[in-house]
Amino acid sequence: MEEIFEGTTMFLDVLVLTWMIYWMRYQARLIKSSLERNVQRVLDAGDRRGLATIAFVPFSVRVLRQRSSLQLQRSQSREKRSLLV
């Protein structure tokens, strides 16, 4: 019985990962076309600040999100250590 459960679980894992790969490829195409349209629009308008915004704002958001995640992890580990003491 355990082997059937493990085999079914592995099969479902393969299905989910395969679907995720195709979904990510589709999303990458959408993001790429959207980014290219935005860059072209900014270049046509001759707005250098707009180009800098397109280039750096998403990067900044990712950095801030990563920092907040790290801070949350640190605070959770501190709480766990204080509970153990």
Rounded alpha-carbon distances, angstroms, from residue 73 to 1, 61, 62, 70: 38, 18, 16, 5
Which residues constitute the domain of residue 76?
Answer: 51-85
String of DSSP letters for the chain: -HHHHHHHHHHHHHHHHHHHHHHHHHHHHHHHHHHHHHHHHHHHHT-HHHHHHHHHHHHHHHHHHHHHHHHHHHHHHHHHHHHH-
Are residues 30 and 55 located together in one domain of the fold?
no
Q: What is the per-residue pLDDT for 49? A: 80
The answer to whether residues 10 and 41 belong to one domain is yes
Per the confidence metrics, is the pTM higher than 0.75? no
- For the chain, list residues with pLDDT below 50: none
Q: Are residues 1 and 24 in the same domain?
A: yes
